Amino acid sequence: MTTTIHRPARTTVSAGLAATTTSAASSADSLVTVRGLRVAYGDGPVVLDGVDLDLAPGETVALLGSSGSGKSTLMRALTGFAPVVAGSVDVAGHDLTRLRRGELRRVRADVGQVFQQFNLVGRLSVLTNVLTGALHDAGPLNWVGGFGSAHRRRAMALLDRVGIAHKANDQARTLSGGQQQRVAIARALMQQPRVVLADEPVASLDPRMSHSVLELLQEIAREDGIPVLVSLHVLPLALEHSDRVVGLRHGEVLVSAPTASLDAEALAVVYEGVEEETDDQH
Ligand SMILES: Nc1ncnc2c1ncn2[C@@H]1O[C@H](COP(=O)(O)OP(=O)(O)OP(=O)(O)O)[C@@H](O)[C@H]1O
Ligand SMILES: [Mg+2]
């Protein structure tokens, strides 16, 4: 693993070369490879500017950056939903920027997603919510036939894995936030994803729940050998629950390094000169 920490006033000939070398060295075993990604919404400003990212099987990568730095946009690009101006976004061997809609839908089925607000259907049972993960690639017709017993067994096994099997028949809305997020993780796993994206998955949870959900995500990455990209606003959580940190500022990658080589001081560069929401990092 290589370490890239770009200082704010990057003069960036050397920084750029270092980044290129890093990419070439690590892309061979990466499941996700992003190169030179530029994104702009409509006529607005560029919100991702030359982003490189590699996600290798089994690793948990914490994505840091102030509000507006481009974390969610980068995640969106990994599902082919961002307005890409330049660059490539390769997921499991497919460049999402070049795929047609039907092909894109198939690749999206490989990407499991977890969100801050869980996005469960509150009035449906926990088990049914997990089962909907299996619909990802099939479309609404599958609803007609219901779910087969093999699907049900797999959904129950996943609920057991995330520690919520005893709640399988409860309405999702009756669960605590931490429990709901576990259900959402089980639903993402139901897709048999090749990569998991978690956009601020613990922002609505208390500290104890936050630790346990992030532990679960890191365990899934290791055990299933899939990359997990998780955006966070709390530095200590990122330092404790990731193998690598990628730090965005104003749409540029300023830090890309193994977590073990970093501390809060090294990460301060990501938040320098950014007014909004700097309190969130404490
Ligand atoms: N749909 C959109 N249309 C126009 N601009 C957008 C859209 N989505 C995001 N942006 C802009 O892109 C920039 C990056 O936003 P993004 O949501 O990716 O940031 P973020 O790092 O996820 O922030 P937060 O920590 O608040 O979630 C911001 O300036 C935002 O206003
Ligand atoms: Mg966001």
Dist. CA 256 → ligand 2 center (Å): 19
Q: Is the model's pLDDT at 277 over the cut of 60?
A: no
Dist. CA 71 → ligand 2 center (Å): 5
pLDDT, one tens digit per residue, over 251-273 is 999 999 999 999 999 999 999 88
Q: Is the model's pLDDT at 236 over the cut of 60?
A: yes
> Which comes out higher in pLDDT, residue 145 or 156?
156
pLDDT, one tens digit per residue, over 151-169 is 999 999 999 999 999 999 9
The secondary structure of the chain as a DSSP string is ---EE--SS---HHHHHHHHHHHHHHGGG-SEEEEEEEEE-TTS-EEEEEEEEEE-TT-EEEEE--TTSSHHHHHHHTTT-S-EEEEEEEETTEEGGG--HHHHHHHHTTEEEEETT----TTSBHHHHHHGGGGTTT-TTHHHH---HHHHHHHHHHHHHTT-GGGTTSBGGGS-HHHHHHHHHHHHHHT--SEEEEESTTTTS-HHHHHHHHHHHHHHHHHHT--EEEE-S-HHHHHHS-SEEEEEETTEEEEEEEGGG--HHHHHHHHTT--TTGGGG-
Nearest protein Cα to ligand 1, atom 28? 68
pLDDT, one tens digit per residue, over 164-206 is 999 999 999 999 999 999 999 999 999 999 999 999 999 999 9
Q: Is the model's pLDDT at 207 over the cut of 80?
A: yes
What residues flank ion ligand 2 with Cβ within 5 A? Answer: 71-72
Query: How sure is the predictor about 145, in pLDDT bands with cuts at 50, 70 and 90?
Result: low
Query: How sure is the predictor about 248, in pLDDT bands with cuts at 50, 70 and 90?
Result: very high
> Which comes out higher in pLDDT, residue 101 or 18?
101
Q: Which domains does the chain have, with CATH numbers?
A: 4-110+195-281 (3.40.50.300), 122-192 (no CATH)
pLDDT, one tens digit per residue, over 33-69 is 999 999 999 999 999 999 999 999 999 999 999 999 9
Query: How sure is the predictor about 3, in pLDDT bands with cuts at 50, 70 and 90?
Result: low
Q: What is the pLDDT of residue 147?
A: 77
Q: What is the pLDDT of residue 40?
A: 98
pLDDT more than 70, % of the chain: 83
Dist. CA 151 → ligand 2 center (Å): 32
